[in-house]
Amino acid sequence: MKRLLISVLVAFSTLIFINGQGDAGLSGTDNSSVINIDRLEEILCDWAGAYSDKNGTDFSDTLHFHLAGSDHYRYIVFSDGDYTLYEGMHPDAVLIFTASLDTYNRIYRGEMSGMTAVGRANITEPAPLDIILANGMTLGKVNWEWAYYTLGNFFNIHPANRTLLGIEHSRKVHGGNAVALFYSVGYRSAWYHIGRGEMLNESGERDPFNQSFVILSGSGTAKIGNDTIQLRENEAYYIRPMQEHKVWSDTEKGITLLWNAWGSEAW
C-alpha cells in the first residue's frame, strides 16, 4: 500500500490547493501521524455510516480526504447501501477535502458545521476545511449541487443535519460571525451575529440574487440601497438583486439575524 501511495503522489504533482497556499510541511510517518490518521479513519467511518443511512441502497459515490500537514490520503466508496474506506489517493480523484485533525474533530463533535468550516468571503481565502483540485478539475467545472449536498450531509452525523447556532460555532465571514446553514444551487442560508462595532459587508455588497434579513434578536442599522434603516427583532427585510446592503450595530448586545438568498444566481 505504501508503494501505491508513493506512485499516486507522484502522479498528482500538479494538485491545486484552492487557497493558493499549498500544503506546506508535508511530513513522513511518525507516531503522532499514525495516531492522527487512526482518529481520522474513525471519524470518516462514523460519517460514512450515517451518510449511507441518509442516502439508502441506490446511492453510489466516491469521496476523497486529506489530513492537512501530512501525506495521508483516504477515500470512501459508497455502493449498495454500504461503504468501504481505502488508504491512499484514488487515481481518478478530482476534488479532495483537506483539513487538520483538529478541524475534523470540531466538525465531528458538532462544534462547527462542514458548511461553516469551508465558508469564506472569497474562494481564494484559506478556510479550516479546504478543497484540493486534481486531474484538471477547476472551480468552473465543480458540480456545486453535489458539493453543497456532500458538505451539508456527509459532514454531519445527525440524521436531520442538526446545526448548532452561536458565536462559539461561527467563523468571521464578510465581517460578521457566521454559521452557514443550508445550501443548494439556488438557495443559501446562514445565521449571523454582528457585535458592537462590527459591520457585515463593510465595503457595501451587491449580489445578483434575492436576499432577506430576518432579525432574530438585538438591534442595529442597515443600509439597503439608498435607505438607512433601524433594525429591531421580529422584523424582516428584502434586498433586491444588485442592491447595496450592509449591517452594523453600536449596541452592547449587537444584532443576530438569519440571512437567506435565492434565485438562479445564488449558487
Does residue 162 sit within a domain? Answer: no
The percent of residues above 70 in pLDDT, for the chain, comes to 87
Given 92, 120, 153, which residue is the final one in a domain?
A: 153
CATH number of domain containing 215: 2.60.120.10
Residues 143 and 37 in one domain: yes
Burial of 226 (0-12, 13-18, 19+ CB in 10 A): exposed
Residues 128 and 175 in one domain: no
What is the pTM for the complete model shown? 0.87
Query: pLDDT, tens digit, for every residue of 113-172?
Result: 999 999 988 777 889 999 999 989 888 899 999 999 999 999 999 999 999 999 999 999
Residue 13 is inside which H or E element, if any? none
Residues 137 and 174 in one domain: no
Total domains in the chain come to: 2
CATH number of domain containing 45: 3.30.1050.10
CA angle 165, 166, 167 (to 5 degrees): 140
Integer distance in angstroms from the first to the last C-alpha of the chain? Answer: 39
Does residue 161 sit within a domain? Answer: no
Domain with 248 in it: 167-262
Does residue 267 sit within a domain? Answer: no
- Inform me whether the pLDDT recorded for 220 exceeds 70: yes
DSSP summary character for residue 94 = -
Does residue 111 sit within a domain? Answer: yes
Residue pair 18/130 in contact (Cβ under 8 Å)? The answer is yes
The label of the residue with cell 467563523 reads 171
Does residue 109 sit within a domain? Answer: yes
- Mean pLDDT of all residues in the chain? 88
